[in-house]
Structure 1
Amino acid sequence: MTSSTGAPAQKLMLIDSASLYFRAFHGVPESITAPDGTPVNAVRGFLDSIAHLLTTHRPTRLVACWDDDWRPAFRVEALPSYKAHRVAPDGGEEAPDLLLPQVDVIVDVLAALGLTRVGAPGYEADDVMATLTVRSKDPVDVVTGDRDLFQLVDDDLGVRVVYCGKGVRKADLVDQPWLHTKYRVSTGQAYADMAVLRGDPSDGLPGVPGIGEKTAAALVDRYGDLAALLAAADDPTTGLSPGQRRKLLDARDYLTAASVVVNTARDVPLPDLDDTLPREPVDLDALGALVHRWGIQSSVERVLTALVQSRD
């Protein structure tokens, strides 16, 4: 695709890196190893995913977004149950022992390739992605397996989610019509409000007892947003049933706290980034050493081929 001037149309791709490497680790057999027998299944799967995304969606810019803090203090302060069930004994995130060393390899390979990677102290990758989305003047593809990021979808701004819940090769392209068909909500923000009401056990969000996904979507659609819904709960003449009013009023403190947790920060202090896809690896010697050490030649070659094709 080209612009009216004949130059390639610009498009930014934001990668939810942890989402991709966790899925790669669980989706690629641990029998995929380096020459010394060390598992590199997450490394190979992550790089193969990047190659597929570049080839399929043809971005001109890319940022691998990082969880510098997977459980930020401001979210835990708002809702102590946030991700509490995923805290390891050492206080970090519970993760497979065989995955953690591979994350360091992924970091090194991205650096040698020249693919931009960024995180921010005190913030999750979700917040980094949201901030970069707001900053971008170009269309944005947000790549993730996390439904929370559906809140970024905005057809007017050209922001969609490449949702990899079933894998990168079976990704759904989430725009506003898709959200309406799937969840009966009309905007990304409406999805976030619905998610607060519904809850998400995987993140430690209990939701409002007695209000499931369909009811939550119908309430958000009817009243517009969570703030208006809570205002309606205060007024017995607004059409809510007595049971719904009581459930919402009883859950007011939760709803206020969960909104802080679910809604992404969009003002993360990030440096200016050169996120243009590289024409060639920035450190060929380092990349060669990594390929030799970890036995990842075929996956790296697929990424390099995809980078060349992205410039055509």
Structure 2
Amino acid sequence: MADRLMLLDSASLYFRAFYGVPDTVRSPDGTPVNAVRGFLDIIAKLVTTYRPTDVVACWDDDWRPKWRVDLIPSYKAHRVAEVVVSGPDVEEVPDPLEVQVPVIREALDALGIAIVGAAEHEADDVIGTLATTAEKPVDVVTGDRDLFQLVDDDRDVRIIYTARGMSNLEVVTDDVVVAKYGVHGAQYADFAALRGDASDGLPGVAGIGEKSAATLLQAHSDLAGILAAADAGEGMSAGVRAKLDVGRAYLAVAPTVVEVARGLELDVPPTRLRVPDAATRASAHALADRWGLGGAMGRALDALTAVAG
């Protein structure tokens, strides 16, 4: 089997698991474990379907880095919990999910799946760095279209897009990005900066929507080319130039916020999937018994055995 690295956008997946499995699923002590069970079943499905040789669960060590907020204060502002805290912003996470996140990490450890985060950076940045530096094909599993910027057919970096549900996964290559938006994966970050993204609190350039952003990038390749053409008064209407001029201050910082990091120094443990030995299985099943994970842990173990074997 050819080597292939799978990068999990962990928070994206455990939020999906939480809302996809009834919250009546609980441990023997009454703690909700629906997200844990759902997350394990997601892993089993992904490993079985795409057969990676290596897997990394990429983690949000800082889901809203201050350096991004300093550049665009509205960045993810609508997701901040309305509580008084000192230190970093607290993401608004449902209480029944919050208590499950440590158990998800325990389950990943039990399966031998590497967890990688980076101080002052999001999981997206970890994914961007690992995808860019990988010496093998990469599958990025996420429901976040911002990561379309990583699609690279030449290096066989593709997105396994979960937005339509785990039963309707979409493999996103460059042709798919072009068909959806009219731009290539390498242009997607500039496209998102121009268009904006309400889900991330990015305002975009007023009056520039998806079609206008795509048209500009088709004509001028990238944001630098668009602004150079605007300065020269060529290749666009006076109205579009005026909109870009009003948005200059925003466009000076937006790419830094939208583009994922690609050069982080990461502490990456071994990522190779291993066939669970007897001790691993015993430990994983003990964890499953303690938390009432039902057959989900067994299905994940069986998937790893089938693929890593």
Q: Give TM-score scaled by structure 2 length.
A: 0.95
Q: Which runs of 5+ in 1 are unaligned?
A: 1-7
SS of the equivalent of 1:143 reads strand
Percent of pairs with identical residues: 55
**Correspondence 1:157 to 2:124:** no
Q: How does 1:6-85 map to 2 (within 5 A)?
A: 8-85=1-78
**Correspondence 1:126 to 2:119:** no
In structure 1, C-alpha distance between the alignment counterparts of 2:155 and 2:250, rounded to whole Å: 31
In structure 1, C-alpha distance between the alignment counterparts of 2:189 and 2:161, rounded to whole Å: 16
Contact 1:52 1:169 in 2 (8 A): no
Query: After the TM superposition, which parts of structure 1 deviate over 6 Å for at least 4 consecutive aligned residues?
Result: none
In structure 2, C-alpha distance between the alignment counterparts of 1:273 and 1:154, rounded to whole Å: 25
Q: CA RMSD in A?
A: 1.3
Shift of 1:196: 0.7
Q: Deviations over 1:79-129 (max 9, x none)?
A: 111111111123310110110010010001111111111101111000000
Shift of 1:311: 2.9
Contact 2:161 2:172 in 1 (8 A): yes
2:242 alignment partner, one of 226, 246, 270 = 246
In structure 2, C-alpha distance between the alignment counterparts of 1:208 and 1:271, rounded to whole Å: 37
Q: How does 1:108-257 map to 2 (within 5 A)?
A: 108-185=106-183, 187-236=184-233, 238-257=234-253
Shift of 1:283: 4.2
Q: Deviations over 1:18-70 (max 9, x none)?
A: 00001111111111111233211110111100100000000000000000000
Contact 2:127 2:140 in 1 (8 A): yes
Q: Which runs of 5+ in 2 are unaligned?
A: none
In structure 2, C-alpha distance between the alignment counterparts of 1:135 and 1:286, rounded to whole Å: 33
SS of the equivalent of 2:159 reads strand
Correspondence for 1:262? 258
In structure 2, C-alpha distance between the alignment counterparts of 1:288 and 1:273, rounded to whole Å: 23
Query: What amino acid does structure 1 have at the position aligned with 2:14?
Result: Y
Query: What amino acid does structure 1 have at the position aligned with 2:239?
Result: G
Q: Give TM-score scaled by structure 1 length.
A: 0.94
SS of the equivalent of 2:147 reads helix
In structure 2, C-alpha distance between the alignment counterparts of 1:284 and 1:142, rounded to whole Å: 27
Shift of 1:285: 4.8
